[in-house]
Structure formats: C-alpha cells, structure tokens
Structure 1
Amino acid sequence: MPGAGSDGLWSIGELAGHAGTTVKTVRFYSDSGLLPERARSAGGHRRYAPDALDRLRLIRSLRGLGLPVAQVRRVVDEQAGAQGVLEGAVAEQLRALGSRLSALRWQEAALHLVHGCPPRERADRLRLVGALGSPPSTDPLVRFWRGWLPPRMPAASRRAFMEVAVPQPPDAPAPAQVLAFARLCALVSRPCDGSAAPSQPAAHRAAGARESALLYAGLAEAYDLAAVRMRAGAAPGAGEALDCFVATYARVAGCRDTPGFRRGLARRLAADPRLDGYWALVAELITVPGGVPEPTPGGAHDWLLAALERQPAA
C-alpha cells in the first residue's frame, strides 16, 4: 500500500495519483456521497484514509460497467452483503442494457425498412413504424383478443390462448418482421368488420366459463395435431387432428359426432368471422426470413375446416 502523509491520510491529489485518475473524478465521487473523506485539513482540504483507494477502484469498475450512481452506492455501502448486492446490481444492469439493445435493433431494422422501400411507399411505412415503440409493445394485440374471446372465459384458459395468439416481437428483427408487426398492430386497432366492436364466432355467444375452457383446450390440441400434418406438407384430410377438432365442438354443444353434425359444423364455421389477415401477419412475424412458414392457430383452423368440408356425405 502506498505511503500516507504524516497524519496517515492522503490529500485528494495523492488519492487520485494512486488510483490513476483525476482530482476532478475523485471530487465528483466525494460530492456524490460515494467516497466520503476521513477529515479536512486546517485549510479545509479533503483528507482520505488509505482504504479509500480500494473503494475508489471498486466505484470506477462499477461505473465502467455502466452502473448508475444509485446502484454503485448500494454496492459500496453494504460491504457485509456486498456479493449479493453486486450480483443484483449487475443483473439489473444486464436487463436494462438488453432492453436498450433490443430497442436499438428495432430502430435499425425500421430504418432499413424505410430506407430500402420505393419512394411511393415511404410515407406509408413511416406512418406504420412510427406508431410503434422501440421495442414495440404487444398491448394492442392483447386488447384485441380480450374483446374477441368469450367474456366468461376462465383466466387460465385466456392466458394459455394469449401465449399462442399474441406473438412476441423478435429481439433482432429483420426489416420484413418490423413491417409485419406494424401492420399487425394497425390491423387490430380497427374492428374486423367495421363495427364498433370485434364480431364474434357463433361458438362464443353461448359459451359460459366451462364451455369456453373446453372449447379452447380442445382446439389447442387439435391445432397442435394439425400443425404436425401441415409441417409435413399434408393436404387437409381425415385423421386424428380432424376428429379432435370435431369432437371439441360436439362436446361443447352436448352433441354426438355424426355426419349430420359435421355437415352443420362446416356450414357454421364457414360463416364465422375470418381473421386470416391477422394470422398471415403472425406467420410472417414468427417465421425466420427465408424459412418455411410456421403453422399458426389460424392456419391450423383453416386447414381443419378445409378437411371438414372435404368429408364424404356418408
């Protein structure tokens, strides 16, 4: 440890010299309350104990990692539990940094989107991406589905559906994904059919808590089974996925799965409001650019409805 003055203390210049920094830096940390002096000289100059060197080095290391002064103070002031405090402060800083990096990646992709488009499309794209935050929020999509789903749907069933129906913005989006998400948010910001509220499928209108829970749990299983067939490139047709799909509607309606029920279900589902535009944009958003489109619940529903409509009349 470098030697101290005759009183065992260092001047602010001596401390700065031992730490390899400037007097201005030491004064800033002292004035911020991070580096308290031990005493003042007869002339009113700051005097520091030698152990202030280790504290100053710790402060500079934490500040070099980007931790704000408030977090640095928590670490240096709680020496007894410094390890836990330090881990928490670093974790918090990592989260904040990740959020800023994600925002920058979205801004970069949005700039490429605007820069690379034909001049006649630039104003429209600026309007679309300008309505998004960085990174964007899924709140508009959540609000849309809350108005669409059955009003008495149990909270657990609602959450499970939202996890599938509300796509999370990619951390490092391609320009095309930024455009898809912007269009998705613009789409749900207006009613599907031009009315004051989203139109509802027929199955929603009579669905209580039990029926809506059964309906969406059964449909989720049917959609998963259909997605397997879709990834394999299979055309819509009979099989386990279609049987599960029909059985779900039959169970909710309290009916048996008969040819007559299937014919009536096909007519009823064909007349239901369509959300094809929503699911097409979701597919663009969740599919890796240049990759094979990922099946969505909407795509699986259409596949199953096509399979149902192709059922023989017998």
Structure 2
Amino acid sequence: MDATTLYSIGELSRRTGLPVRTIRFYSDAGVVAPTTRSPAGYRLYDLDALLRLELLRTLRELGVDLATIQRVLDRELSVADVAATHADATDVQIRVLQRRRSVLRVVARGGSSPEEIKLMHRLTQLSGEERRRLTDDFVEGTFGTSGTADADPAAVAMVRAAIPDLPDDPSGEQVAAWAELAELVGDEDFRARMRRTAGWQAAGRTLDIESAAGDELTEFTRQKVTEAMESGIDPLSDRAAPVIDDLVHRFAEAFARTPDRDFREWMARQFEEAHDPRVDRYWRLVWIVNGWQVVPNLIPVYPWLIQALRNGRP
C-alpha cells in the first residue's frame, strides 16, 4: 500500500470495517471526498481518504459528532483539543451514570416510594454548583446573609465547615442521605431549630440545667444515656422507661421539684436548647454524605434523652 494506490468503495469498506452505504454517505457529505472516478464512473479513493475514514471511525466510536470531525479533518481543530473536550464530557457522563447506579441500588433494596425515587433521581442530577446553591440558601436562610447583626459567626462557620457534598460515585446510603438532607434543609421549622441550637454547639457552652445540676449528675446522665444508646435501646420503647425514670427522679431531687409530666417537659426544653433530635439527624446525614467516619464518643446523647422525656409517661 502506497500513496499512489487507489481504492474502490468496497475496498475501503473492507479495510475500515465501515458499511459501503456509510462511506457513501460520508462521501456525499464531503467529509471524505473521492480522489477520482474510474472510466466506468465508480468512485476511487487514495491513501489520504483511507486514513481520514479510519480517523473518522475512531472519533465516531468515541462519541465525537460529525461536524467536529469535519473540523478535525480540515485541520481547524487538533485531535488533542477534541480529545480533551470529549474526555471532560465523558467524565460528566460517568458521574451521571454512577449516581444513577446509586439511585438504582437504593431502589433495589426496596422501601422507596415512586415520589422518593423521583426526588432522589432529581437531586443526584444537580450539578456541583446547583448543590452548593442549595446549601448556601440553607445557611443564609437559617442565619441570614453575611454581616447580619444577629447571625452567630461561630455557628455559621461551623455549619459551613461541614457543608454536605455528594461524591462523584456515591453509595446508595449516601444518595438516600442526600435526598433526606435536601428536604430537611428546606424546612422552616428545622431552620429555626438549627438557628436555636447551632450557637450553643459552636461555642461549646454548658447548659443552664447542667450547671445547676452539677458535674456529678451531668456526667452520670451522659454515662447512662450513652450506655442505653450503645445497647440499642429505643428512647420510645419500654426498655428506656427504667433509665429515664431514674434520671427524672434524680433531677427532681436536685431541683426540689415533683417528677411529674410538667417536670419532664421542662427538662426536655432545657436540654433542647443545645440538642435537638432533628438537628442531630442533620449532622448524622452530613457525616454519611461526606463519607466521614462516625466517632461514637462525639455522637450527642441528649437527643435520645429528649425523646425519652417526651414519651408520654406520667
């Protein structure tokens, strides 16, 4: 094979693997024009046409559109530039497919309603910029825009430092957590709870009830609730009753109060100033979405206590 060799359209088809009708289409479109014609009027192509067809086939298999290929063949674009652009586009497609796979894994485990599936799919399609806009709106809607007089800088910094960001190849658990987070941060009641508790958490301040109860009772309470949580005791179950009854009586004695329903509610409100079950849920979801390891001794114990106090027992 040399530069003087001419090939029929059938020979080009054999050498490139492209159907004759496809080569004819490219020829009619001017992408690969025939070099000359035989005395009988059949199209003949030279070595340059063969090489152009091979490059065209390769680029088409890589997903490059015909208009771009034409510019490459006409030397208006380099193959390197086109490859870089399509590599970037392929990266985006891969991320979309990875997230779609994660949603399908969640669905395959069962328990997701059609509405939840639709929500998860829509949220995973958001770009990084759109996801950041969602979380920025949450921070600004909760604490006010930067410079607002009543915004707690420490609280804002704490929340911003742990902004959830879905990875490119999320697990099913991360997709489900992200969908739950997206709904949570748009809820006005939750924003009010976050606004109320974040300042306490960021400053690490001691609650008034802790100061008044003393270090010994405070540490005893943390220990007992931690043991209950580690044992898998649901705060709303009968197994939680002995634990919470004992703590209520100890606090009632310390504050010279009657351990009745009103006192339980008072205790719950005191602990809720810095620890709220929905806010605790938010931080757990952030840990999951960001792929952070959950450190057991950093898990708040008071949300469990608050739920148990409000379980409706006299």
Shorter chain as denominator, the TM-score bin is: 0.5 to 0.7
CA offset digits 1:94-149 (Å, max 9, x no partner): 2222222222222222122122134xx54564354244243665142233234335
Residue 99 (str. 1) matches residue 92 (str. 2): yes
CA offset digits 1:273-312 (Å, max 9, x no partner): 9844432211111126xxx3279xxx89x89xxxxxxxxx
Match of 2:286 in 1: 282
Letter aligned with residue 12 of structure 1: I
Match of 1:181 in 2: 178
CA offset digits 1:241-265 (Å, max 9, x no partner): xxxxxxxxxxxxxxxxxxxxxxxxx
The match for 1:36 among 33, 37, 46 is 33
C-alpha contact 1:10 1:48 (8 A) present in aligned 2: yes
Q: Give the unaligned 5+ runs of structure 1.
A: 155-159, 205-218, 223-234, 236-266, 304-314
Residue 78 (str. 1) matches residue 75 (str. 2): yes
Match of 1:126 in 2: 117
C-alpha contact 1:129 1:182 (8 A) present in aligned 2: yes
The match for 1:151 among 120, 145, 149 is 145
- Give the TM-score of the pair, scaled to structure 1: 0.55
Q: Give the unaligned 5+ runs of structure 2.
A: 149-156, 205-218, 220-269, 302-314
Residue 170 (str. 1) matches residue 167 (str. 2): yes
In percent, how many aligned pairs have the same letter?
A: 30
More helix as a share of residues = 2
After superposition, the Cα gap between the structure-2 partners of 1:283 and 1:67, relative to the gap in structure 1 and judged at 3 Å, is same
Looking at CA atoms only, which structure, 1 or 2, has the larger radius of gyration?
2
Distance, in Å, in 2 between the alignment partners of 1:3 and 1:152 is 69
C-alpha contact 2:185 2:191 (8 A) present in aligned 1: no
Letter aligned with residue 74 of structure 1: R
1:1-314 aligned at under 5 Å gives the runs 1=1, 9-39=6-36, 45-78=42-75, 85-118=78-111, 122-123=113-114, 125-126=116-117, 128-134=119-125, 137-138=130-131, 139-153=133-147, 164-193=161-190, 270=273, 275-287=279-291, 292-293=293-294
C-alpha contact 1:201 1:272 (8 A) present in aligned 2: no
Distance, in Å, in 1 between the alignment partners of 2:197 and 2:108 is 44
Distance, in Å, in 2 between the alignment partners of 1:162 and 1:75 is 49
Distance, in Å, in 1 between the alignment partners of 2:191 and 2:160 is 27
Letter aligned with residue 26 of structure 1: I
CA offset digits 1:25-63 (Å, max 9, x no partner): 212322444223335567765443332111111112222
Q: In the comparison of the two structures, how many residue pairs are matched?
A: 223
C-alpha contact 1:287 1:293 (8 A) present in aligned 2: no
C-alpha contact 2:141 2:191 (8 A) present in aligned 1: no
RMSD of Structure 2 on Structure 1 (CA): 4.4
